[in-house]
Amino acid sequence: MGIRRLAAGLAVFWLLVAASPDLALRDGGAALVTQVIDGDTLELDDGRRVRLVGIQAAEVAHSGDPAEPWAAEATFALEMVTLGKRVRLSYGGLEIDRYGRVLAHLHTEDGVWVQAEMLRQGMVRVYSFADNRTLVPEMLAIEAEARAGRRGLWALAEYSVLDQQDTWRHLNRFAIVEGVVLATDEMGGRVYLNFGPDWRTDFTVSIAPGDVRIFRDAGVEPLAYAGQRIRVRGWLRNFNGPMIDATHPEQIESAGR
C-alpha cells in the first residue's frame, strides 16, 4: 500500500470523525507495539494490552482447545501491520473491558487504520457491542468488499454467511446469518424478528426492551424489519430454536430483497 494511499485514507478517516458527533473519538496516546497475541490483541511497551475494538479474529489455541481455522494467518497479518511500530490509540466507547484490556482503534505512524487493514485483507470479521459502536458502518463496508472478493477467511466454508435454515448446525458460536424476516412482534417491550412460521424451532432475533430503545433512539424501528432480507451477526445460541440477541442496530444490515 503506497504512502499517498495511506495518507489519503487517514485524511478521509478524520474527516468522517469530524463530520459526525457519533464518530467522535478520544485520544488514547501513543506507544510501541512489542508483542502480538493473536489477530485482534496486542501488547504495548507501556504495559497496556489492547483488544482491537470492533473486530474479531479466529481464536488461537488455548486452554486445551485447538486453534480455529485462520488464527495463525490473522496473527501473522497483525504482526506485519503493527509489530515494532508506534501506534496511536483512539477510544470510541467503553475504554477497558472486564479482562483489563484496552478497547481502542489503532493507527500506525504511516497512516494505516489497523482495523480497516485487517478487514481489507479478510483476516477478521466485524464484531461490535452496544457500548462501542463508533465507525462500525465503515468497518462493515470494508468487510463486505473482502467477503465479495473471497479474501482471507472468506474463502473458507467455516466463515460463510449462514442461511437462516442452516443455523441449527452452528450453535454456540459467533455467526453471521442471512434471511428474510417473516414477521415481527413486540411482547412486554421485547421485539422478536421471526424468520420462520414456528418461533419454537425457527431462527429468531431477540431485542431486549432496553436495547429496543437503542434502536429507536438511532432512528431504526425494529418492527419494520418484517418482510426484509437482512444479515444479522452475534452469538448464535439455542433458546426456542436458534437465536441471536441483537443489542444495537449495527448488528443488522440490509441484504436486499
Taking 80 as the threshold, does the pLDDT of residue 185 lie above it? yes
- Percent of the chain predicted with pLDDT > 90: 87
Say if residues 36 and 82 touch (Cβ distance below 8 Å). Answer: yes
Q: Is the confidence at residue 36, as pLDDT, over 60?
A: yes
- Tell me: pLDDT of 4 over 90: no
Q: Work out the pLDDT band at 23, boundaries 50, 70, 90.
A: low
Q: How many residues does the chain have?
A: 257
**Looking at residues 60-74, what average pLDDT do you find?**
92
- In the chain, CATH 2.40.50.140 covers 161-254
- All CATH 2.40.50.90 domain ranges of the chain, comma separated, are 3-154
Provide the phi-psi class of 90: left if phi over 0, else alpha when psi is between -120 and 50, else beta: beta
Residue 18 reports pLDDT greater than 90: no
Whole-angstrom distance, CA of residue 21 vs CA of residue 191 = 28
Q: What's the whole-number mean pLDDT along residues 64-91?
A: 96
Q: What is the mean pLDDT of residues 231-246?
A: 97
- Please list, in sequence order, all residues whose beta carbon lies within 8 angstroms of the beta carbon of residue 141, skipping any fewer than 6 positions away: none
Look at residue 98 in the predicted model and tell me its pLDDT: 95
Average pLDDT over residues 185-206: 96
The residues carrying an active-site annotation are 51, 59, 101
CB 248 within 8 A of CB 233: no
Q: 3-state SS of the chain: helix, strand, coil percent to 5?
A: 30, 35, 35
Check whether 97 has a pLDDT greater than 70.
Answer: yes
Q: Does domain 3-154 have CATH number 3.40.50.300?
A: no
pLDDT tens-digit map of 124-175: 999 999 999 999 999 999 999 999 999 999 999 999 999 999 999 999 999 9
CATH class of the domain defined by 161-254? mainly beta
Average the pLDDT over each of 5-9, 100-104, 113-117 and give the range with the smallest value.
5-9
